[in-house]
Amino acid sequence: MAPAVFTSDYWKKYFSNKKKPTVKNTSDIDLLHINRGRQPFDEGLSINEDSFFYRHNIHVPRIVYLIIVACGSFIITGGIEFAIAYGMYKKTETSVRLWRLPDTLSGDAAVTNFVQAIVTYWVESILVQGDLRSGLVKPIYFGWWPENFLLREVLRAKPRYHFKFIVFRWMEWLVFVGLRGLVWSVPLWFLFWPATVGILCAPGRHEGNDYYFNNYPAPQVFKLIFGGGEGFVLTPWIAFLHMYMYGHYLHVAKNQKSLPKTSDLEQQRGTSSSQPSENDANITALPKPEPKMYENSDLTPARTPVTPAPLEKPVNLAPEVVEPTNAAASPLQLNAPKLTDVDDSALAYDPTKVQDGEDRFVHNDVPLENAENPSRFVHSDAPIDMTHTTTVISEAQNLPSTLLPQDGNAVHHDTDAPSLSNVRKSVDSPRVPPSFSDDAVSSFSLVTAPSINNVGGSTAPSVNNQEREYDYDDTSSRSSTLTERPVVH
């Protein structure tokens, strides 16, 4: 089985930022450390805020880390450069010279400077970011970030990927990191190359305008020292840059919640007197909203409570009441006929004798149980616990749905009941007391149900404060109560 380094999953965590913790994705990084059971970035190393190391972000573990990185790079880079020089100069036929081609040490040092800077940036970018994610070293934050666009791009830790395919993303990353390594190779060249050329003039054999060296071991030792020296300086510098970039991104991520979340300029008007935010002096803090706007303000006129003017005449919202001629009648009595002149005990409903224009109340001795159509009576299996019920009946429609049988209200209406028009025509005027005029009666149509609180053997209910008896058989009285509901026109 191939080692893990040759698998694509091993390299995806370095070259792909998809579903992986990155420098800017601090939440995923913290979650990763929590899952591993370790403190991220080793925050517990320095807890004394007054110490020199804490105030200047200089921790001994960081210094030790940079020294280890520098020494390791010196050994590795120096060994690689020694091997390259051995293969280049050991078996050459001509002497190695300082300036002239083909075997020139000055040209070799210049090329080594640029190539080594690019390769070192590639390798250290992977290793240092891995150490920062694992918590091996803590990032550094100095509270300053460059405003120059070029410097901000050079200090960018991750590229802006434009492709999804992993191979293209590798290429983007290589170009991105290589350009930054090339940028840092320029100051490195001014630091190392002139001094190196001046030092090489001392051991060389001067002939004419050039200096000559043996094929071995002078060129190999020169490359070892030159490459190792550059690695000793450049590698910890690259590690420090990544620690600095990581610290800045982490600081921004921690303070994102305290920044204003709105960019509406209309809400920032009149905020010149407000203090700037502690995290960013360029962002103007929004004014704090008052708990109650315009309350107790001198600019706002006092609100005068509006009192409605008293009415000249009281408005009577009650239905129209027709006063009977009898002075002893109750003033609250509605325009319903008073059946006082008729023997109530002899009243029974005989549908066979009801015709158009005839009286529906007849005097006969037919018991209620022999009535063929008792649909004009309200059948209730239980006492109706109501004191007064008034329902308006319309001529154009049947009884409303509220009067149909409901749960807990045993009021039943038979669908075979006579039509309202026939019933209205069947009411005979002689049955109505002379105190009610035709105009007054026809203008108000009500159905009034009396209050029924007891069933069977109890006192008969009253209609319009008068006693009323009904014809019913013994069987129906034991099981239910039949109440006539007169229709008034």
pLDDT tens sequence for the chain (489 residues): 556 656 666 655 555 444 444 444 444 555 554 444 444 444 433 344 444 444 555 667 888 888 889 999 899 998 998 988 888 888 777 778 888 778 888 888 888 889 989 999 888 888 888 888 887 888 887 777 878 878 888 887 777 777 788 888 888 888 888 888 888 889 888 988 888 888 888 887 777 778 888 888 888 888 888 888 889 999 999 998 888 888 877 777 777 655 554 444 444 444 444 455 444 444 444 555 555 544 444 555 555 666 666 666 555 555 555 555 554 444 444 454 544 444 544 545 555 555 554 444 444 444 444 444 444 444 445 454 444 444 444 444 455 555 555 554 444 445 444 544 454 444 444 444 444 444 444 444 444 444 444 444 444 444 444 444 444 444 444 444 444 455 554
Distances (CA, A) of 74 to 227, 233, 362: 7, 9, 129
* Helix/strand/coil for 35: helix
Q: Dihedrals φ, ψ of 211, to 5°?
A: -120, 140
* Boundaries of every domain in the chain: 4-254, 344-484
pLDDT at 2: 53
pLDDT at 158: 76
pLDDT at 232: 92
pLDDT at 265: 44
pLDDT at 57: 55
**Distance between CA atoms of residues 487 and 456, nearest Å:** 25
Q: With beta carbons less than 8 A apart as the criterion, state whether 377 and 476 touch.
A: no
pLDDT at 305: 60
Model's pTM, two decimal places?
0.43
Instruction: Find the DSSP H helices in 25-165.
Output: 26-36, 52-55, 60-89, 105-134, 149-154
Give ∠ CA 335-341-343 in degrees, rounded to 5. Answer: 120
Q: Is 342 exposed, middle or buried (0-12, 13-18, 19+ CB in 10 A)?
A: middle
